[in-house]
Amino acid sequence: MSDLEKKSIDPATIQMLKKAQVDGCETIFDRADAMKPCPIGAEGSCCKHCVMGPCRVPAPKKKGETPAEKTRRTGLCGATAETISARNFARMVAAGTAAHSDHARGVTEVFLSTAKGEVPGFEIKDEQKLYQLAMDLGVEIGNRSVREIAIDVGHKALSEFGRQEGEILLAKRAPLKRQEIWRNLGVYPRGIDREVVDLLHRTCMGVDQEYKDLLLSAARCSLADGWGGSMISTELQDVLFGTPVPVMGKMNLGVLKKDEVNVVIHGHEPLLPEIIVGVLQDPEIQKAARTVGAKGINLTGMCCSANEVLMRHGIPVGGNFLQQELAIVTGVVDAMVVDVQCEMQSLAQVAKCYHTKLITTSPRAKIEGAMHMEFDERHAQDVAKKILMVAIDNYKNRKPNVEIPTETTDTVVGFSHETINYLLGGVFRASYRPLNENIINGRIRGIAGVVGCNNARVTHDEPNFILIKELIKNDVLVLVTGCSAMAAGKGGLLTPEAAKLYAGEGLASVCETVGIPPVLHMGACVDNSRILMAATAVVKDGGLGDDISDLPAAGAALEWMSEKAIAIGQYFVASGVFTVFGVTWPTTGSEEVTKYLFEEFENTLKGKWGFEPDPLKAAKLMIEHIDKKRKALGIDKARERVLFDMAKRRELDAA
């Protein structure tokens, strides 16, 4: 196996890496070879919170240093390794929370304008969800019009960002016991922006210098993301664009088409992508595409934007984070349209190697060398059409070095929290009861959320794919979002048939009865809030304890790279979930800080972090945790009986 072939488990990715090499086009995979991560920064031991530094306070070479040795290891201001490491960790949480929540703010503003009827092209698609949200936000329904209710919901949601007093409203959706834990610890999230500002303030030079206090504040900030910003995004996007229901969709670079104009939408906010989907069928646009000799326009998604339009429209997915440059390497992407987050600056360089027009659209994110066509919700359709026309015009500029991988995989996606509810319980008696019953009787051992990114420091898609396969083999139902959902999809795990092929007998029997895949795609990264809602629904349905931390459940992000992933992991931990990360752990510079996150959080928040880059070992940790929770609930014996029954059945079948 050549070095190149070890970069990914996905053949389409390898094929494009080889092509990039032939074309002389550099990608992130090359840069990862050329530049190693800084070891001091990697362990969270570098502080540059003031210009007397940067101060480097690396972990001690030997274990068990004396207190005197330890005091000598500080920054100029005396900040200890613990403070520096906790501050760095907390800043990651603040940045991740800011990213999800600023996305949410944008969605809320468009939602409010839609409610007021100010933005053509946008409408309220899911009234049922609007009513539910209105109730949770304390908006009166009565016999008021949808418009009136929606305007109030928009205002209420918007005021959650700048809230100065009280508690974030949607956090009241959490189980009561969970809310009590937050209140007792003083980590109940207040305003969304307030928590981000609070954390940036206390991590400044000379402010909060007690690592436990810093880490609890980070927990509070992350909760403002999970139960605040991210949840508002998901809710309002569903109200505006429809709550996902099961839909078929294809994944991988093979979805690009040689004889059509290819437009890749990449990023996170579904606002412009939804409008692009809408204007695609415009006869004028279709005609323009045919005039340049193309058979039509092929829309493809990349990263979380892909998840959004896949879940709601079945638009094919080009790939995940590490495939963004490689889509362009095919030579057939006529335009790549980006908004915010996870867009590599190198796209501009890669686009130059081919003919691709890179188009930035967000007022928050411009890229040097890209064309900027700003998304303006008041003229969204015009902007969308102009973007498509740029792509159409560019079709003629394709160079001869075109090569599209053949790989595409079929998937069934669209498992919102509401959809799972309906599928399990039926439209008229929607409930999580059948899921709870199957967890209690042991057919389903537990639930795992496997989420997060790709990371150029590990083999692309491999840790996520192996982990997910191992979990379902052991009867753990897996929920996926973000880029890990695409690792599952490309690997063939997002189909009902995958249950028979890969799942343990117990899980497979449930999946076959309900007709669902053993791995449920729940959406983009902001939609991790759907997992919080699903976990809460399971708790509320009864029989599995009275808090999320009682559930036989665990989370993981083995290929994480973004600060957003740390914010997500932290809100899962602060919601009571054991969460395992891979690749590298950002606080190893301080044993105390790491121990606090990995062990002591369990005593207070009843959830904790874990670190394990090896996917099989990570699966083992998660399954052990699930079994520990089953035992505490007194349902461990039921599973043994189910497995025994199955062995008996097989024996009888064989006889």
In the complex, which residues of this chain contact ligand SF4 (CB under 6 A)? 47-50, 52-55, 75-77, 79, 84, 205
Of 485, 471, 458, nearest to 620 by C-alpha is 471
Smallest distance, ligand SF4 to C-beta of residue 513, A: 58
Long-range contacts of 513-517 (CB under 8 A, 24+ apart): 514/423, 514/424, 514/434, 515/423, 516/412, 516/415, 516/423, 517/412, 517/493
**One-letter amino acid of 319:** G
Residue closer to ligand SF4 (CB basis): 83 or 459: 83
Select from 49, 564, 625, 630 the one that contacts ligand BF8 (CB under 6 A). 564
The span from the CA of 559 to the CA of 491, in Å, is 16
Residue closer to ligand BF8 (CB basis): 152 or 339: 339
Residue closer to ligand SF4 (CB basis): 49 or 312: 49
The span from the CA of 440 to the CA of 444, in Å, is 8
Which of ligand BF8, ligand SF4, none is residue 293 near (CB under 5 to 8 Å by kind)? none
Residue in this structure with the two tokens 């104009």, named with its chain if needed: 261
Query: Segment 267-296, which members bind ligand BF8 (CB under 6 A)?
Result: 268
The verdict on 304 binding ligand BF8 (CB under 6 A) reads yes
The span from the CA of 354 to the CA of 25, in Å, is 9
The verdict on 548 binding ligand BF8 (CB under 6 A) reads no
Residue closer to ligand BF8 (CB basis): 163 or 530: 530
521: which 2 tokens? 């795609």
The CA-based angle 91-619-449, given to 5 degrees, is 55
211 HSE (CA, 13 A, CB side)? 22
Select from 288, 453, 472, 537 the one that contacts ligand BF8 (CB under 6 A). 453
Of 87, 71, 102, 348, nearest to 228 by C-alpha is 102
Contact, 119 vs 138, CB < 8 A?
Answer: no
Which of ligand BF8, ligand SF4, none is residue 452 near (CB under 5 to 8 Å by kind)? ligand BF8
SS3 460: strand
22: which 2 tokens? 């032939």
Which of ligand SF4, ligand BF8, none is residue 261 near (CB under 5 to 8 Å by kind)? none
Select from 303, 466, 478, 577 the one that contacts ligand BF8 (CB under 6 A). 303
Cα 196 to Cα 93, 99, 167, 202, 228, distances in angstroms: 9, 10, 15, 10, 12
Smallest distance, ligand SF4 to C-beta of residue 448, A: 38
Residue closer to ligand SF4 (CB basis): 79 or 115: 79
Candidate ranges 151-159, 273-281, 380-388, 560-568; the one touching ligand BF8 (CB under 6 A): 560-568
The span from the CA of 160 to the CA of 164, in Å, is 9
Residue closer to ligand SF4 (CB basis): 85 or 594: 85
Residue closer to ligand BF8 (CB basis): 564 or 629: 564
Altogether, the residues listed in the chain come to a count of 655
Query: Segment 478-497, which members bind ligand BF8 (CB under 6 A)?
Result: 482-483
Residue closer to ligand SF4 (CB basis): 43 or 418: 43
Which residues fall within 8 angstroms of residue 55, CB to CB, at 6 or more apart?
A: 46, 47, 48, 74, 75, 76, 77, 79, 84
Query: Segment 307-366, which members bind ligand BF8 (CB under 6 A)?
Result: 321, 342
The verdict on 525 binding ligand BF8 (CB under 6 A) reads yes
Which of ligand SF4, ligand BF8, none is residue 58 near (CB under 5 to 8 Å by kind)? none
**One-letter amino acid of 88:** N
Smallest distance, ligand BF8 to C-beta of residue 524, A: 6
The verdict on 98 binding ligand BF8 (CB under 6 A) reads no
Which residues fall within 8 angstroms of residue 336, CB to CB, at 6 or more apart?
A: 263, 264, 266, 302, 324, 327, 328, 347, 351, 356, 357, 358, 359
250: which 2 tokens? 């294809």
Candidate ranges 450-458, 574-582, 604-612, 628-636; the one touching ligand BF8 (CB under 6 A): 450-458
Residue closer to ligand SF4 (CB basis): 47 or 412: 47
Which of ligand SF4, ligand BF8, none is residue 342 near (CB under 5 to 8 Å by kind)? ligand BF8
Which of ligand SF4, ligand BF8, none is residue 212 near (CB under 5 to 8 Å by kind)? none
Residue closer to ligand SF4 (CB basis): 76 or 501: 76
Residues that bind ligand BF8 (CB under 6 A): 268, 303-304, 321, 342, 452-454, 482-483, 524-525, 562, 564-565
